[in-house]
Amino acid sequence: MTYALIVAPSAEALTLAEAKAHLRLDGSEEDGLLTALIRTAREHLERSLDLCLIAQGWRHYLDSIPEDGVIQLAKSPIQAIESVTVYDGAGTPRLLSLDGHVLDGVTRPARLFLRQREVAGRAINGIEIDLRAGFGTTGAEVPDVLKRAMLMHVAQMFELRGVLAADAQPAADVPTGYERARRALPDAEALTMRSVFFDPGQMTARLELMAPVETPDGQGGAAIAYEVKASLWARIEPVSEIREERAGSEIFTLTHRIWLRFRTDIRAGMQLRKGMRSFAIRAWRDPDETGRYLVCLCEEEGR
């Protein structure tokens, strides 16, 4: 995959004050160096995880659109697709319609489904996809665990600056614990789902991913509320063979399925409603341990 940065981030994931507090520095003599190290740590983390921490614009070049219309995008999380441009044999650009497109921007890799599939006239890099990616416009929106990994990296680069040659340094590129911190991404928490919109005609659903949050109940205890972490559009496909499945004492008629990717188990159900018909979601991990989960949309019998 070929990518080009077209809109650089307007801020850094870490502030200078956060880095100085971590290093316990009071003076301003090292501010210039620390600013450069913060940027280096962010770029290293983004490259190693194919993440965009702060909102930025990227252009993805590809030769053709896959036959199934699903394009994998290495950047994450993707906030929006700005445009899709197709070039003919003479190099003339033409904007592709985004009507009906489906974006799953929170998985890795992210996925874009285009209903309108075009063949580029240029053999190489004949299609350009402009996208906007990132957790937000400020470091406050970047997950704390990723900022912690950056602080560890900044501290090591600062402590070892110019003291030893690169091949004589006691640590390689990143400090001990960095890999563990960077793997603890925000989607590694237990998430539940709910449906916001279900269109059986288009076979799409907009899903909200939520995490449980404890809030004071005013009586010295705590109540569980749910905080929306992300939303995505998903494709719903009819199963090749409608069949009944038993879940405890209940019997469901399996009618549709959705393929999603998560780094954690899906522990709660989800309701999809259209008119008076009620649907339930069930999910389990794919046996090959790739992180793919089969989410089944089941129509409740008798509803």
Q: What is the pLDDT of residues 175-211, one digit of tens each?
A: 655 665 555 554 434 455 555 555 656 666 666 666 6
Of 56 and 287, the one with more pLDDT: 56
Predicted local confidence at residue 169, as pLDDT: 52
Phi/psi of residue 41, nearest 5 degrees = -65, -40
Name, in order, each residue with C-beta under 8 angstroms of 98's C-beta and a sequence gap of 6 or more.
81, 83, 84, 114
- Mean of pLDDT values over 141-157: 89
- The CB-based long-range contact list for 34-43 (8 Å cut-off, 24+ gap) reads 34/154, 34/158, 37/154, 37/157, 37/158, 38/12, 38/13, 38/14, 38/150, 38/154, 39/12, 40/157, 41/14, 41/150, 41/153, 41/154, 41/157, 42/12, 42/13, 42/14, 42/150
Both tokens of 69, joined, read: 């219309």
Q: Is 147 exposed, middle or buried (0-12, 13-18, 19+ CB in 10 A)?
A: buried
Q: Are strands 110-113 and 70-73 parallel, antiparallel or unpaired?
A: antiparallel
CA triple 1-286-48, angle to 5 deg = 35
Residue 129 predicted with pLDDT over 70: yes
SS (H, E, C) 172-232: CCCCCCHHHHHHCCHHHCCEEEEEEEEECCCCEEEEEEEEEEEEECCCCCEEEEEEEEEEE
Residue 22 predicted with pLDDT over 60: yes
